[in-house]
Amino acid sequence: MSALTRGRALLTGRSRGYVLFASIALLLLAIAPVALDPFRLGLLAKYLCFAIAALGIGLAWGQGGMMTLGQGVFFGLGGYCMGMYLKLKDAGSGGLPDFMVWSGVEELPALWEPFHNPFFALTMVVVLPVVVASVLGLLVFRQRVRGAYFAILSQALAAAFVIWLIGQQGLTGGTNGLTNFYDVFGMDPEEESTQRTFYFVVVAVLGALYLLARQLVKSRFGRLLVAVRDGEDRVRFLGYNPATVKTITFAVSAAMAGIAGALYVPVVGIISPALLGVVPSIELLVAVAIGGRFSLAGAVLGGVLMNWAHTTLSENWPEGWTYLQGGLFILVIMLAPKGIAGLAGQAGDLLARRRGAAAAPRPLAKEEVPV
């Protein structure tokens, strides 16, 4: 392939990516708010929150090979940081959140005090998941723990986190979590205009994080990350430290999950341990596998489709939707190991080969060959 041909192919690939991104942005920002009623638009915003968390998994697992089953921890840290601020906002100056009053708490715990400040709360949405992920990553990756062992450790972290939340009724709301928010940054969450605003914020954040993750993957660091995934020992022999690369990626993934959890709270109006345990974390991983873990766009698509299927199947078949969901996962894994994005890529390659064959010069017939 000549340099000119390679340049044209690269330009075509980039143009195709930009056109696809612009088309999806147009669909989410212009068409969906008009075509969907407020309830369905709120559901779409909820799906997009999970898509942000799935994007982080796609970065950590698809690009870095880290099968994380504990993203619910970081989702919950971001969600509880946002929920704590909103509960204190509703309680007013000197007041206590309603669940603390019901639990017999007489004085606001010291852990809650800094969350009176919205800037502190928003900062902790990102900083707290990053710190926890960095500490865990440094402890685990330096010991060269990987594969199924890392997945089990992250799963155990999620289980322990949920147990702690449930056991702290007066501090975290226990099983019920944090709910009943009446003032979200000066807006009434029950108003349709507020819900529409939440939707646009979620779409904007998802778009920005996707572009950031895509730029990271295409950078030199991203190529090093893929090299660590495909041959960690070889990268170590070349003088790089895979533990550092994996820890940074794991922290970025955790930050995305924390942001997703923080956005989920005003969109849905609740954050509880039921959303953060082992099962929700596994469902996120399954969503990424269905969409295509080697593609960032596939991870986002999987996050949306999985939760859409969850809602649709549970509405139409409440007693057996979990079986359909599991069957869908098995079907995709058997027929398309690289997920929906992999099927789309194969279809695109096949179409490109057919176009190339059609555009190739026709060989001369025997009678046309010059003597």
Q: What angle do CA 224, 226, 232 make, to 5 degrees?
A: 80
- Retrieve residue 276's tokens: 């953060």
List beta partners, residue 184. Answer: 187
Is it the case that residue 40 has pLDDT exceeding 70? yes
- Retrieve residue 341's tokens: 């994005």
Where is average pLDDT lowest: 44-48, 141-145, 318-322?
Answer: 318-322
List beta partners, residue 187. Answer: 184
pLDDT at position 254 is 96
DSSP string, 181-235: ---BTTB-TTSHHHHHHHHHHHHHHHHHHHHHHHHHHHSHHHHHHHHHHH-HHHH
Cα 162 from Cα 164, distance rounded (Å): 5
Where is average pLDDT lowest: 3-7, 35-39, 148-152, 325-329?
Answer: 3-7
Q: Are 46 and 261 in contact (CB under 8 A)?
A: no
Is it the case that residue 220 has pLDDT exceeding 80? yes
pLDDT at position 328 is 72
Q: Are 328 and 313 in contact (CB under 8 A)?
A: no
Which of 313, 248, 259, 349 is closest to 78 using CA atoms?
A: 259
List beta partners, residue 178. Answer: 271
List beta partners, residue 333. Answer: none
Q: The pTM is what? A: 0.88
Phi then psi dihedrals of residue 187, to 5 deg = -120, 150
Q: Can you tell me which residue has the tokens 């929920």? A: 83
Is it the case that residue 215 has pLDDT exceeding 80? yes
SS3 state of residue 13: helix
Cα 342 from Cα 347, distance rounded (Å): 9
Where is average pLDDT lowest: 19-23, 194-198, 229-233?
Answer: 19-23
Is it the case that residue 361 has pLDDT exceeding 70? no
Q: Can you tell me which residue has the tokens 């058997």? A: 334
Strands (E), the chain: 178-179, 270-271
Q: Are 254 and 60 in contact (CB under 8 A)?
A: no
SS3 state of residue 36: coil
- Retrieve residue 33's tokens: 């708010």
CB neighbourhood size of 329 (10 A): 17
List beta partners, residue 271. Answer: 178
pLDDT tens digits, residue range 255-281? Answer: 999 999 999 999 999 999 988 888 888
Q: What angle do CA 274, 36, 304 make, to 5 degrees?
A: 40
- Retrieve residue 108's tokens: 């606001």
| Position 316 confidence tier, pLDDT thresholds 50, 70, 90 | confident
Cα 39 from Cα 139, distance rounded (Å): 44
Where is average pLDDT lowest: 4-13, 101-110, 159-168, 324-333?
Answer: 4-13
CB neighbourhood size of 270 (10 A): 18
Is it the case that residue 323 has pLDDT exceeding 80? no
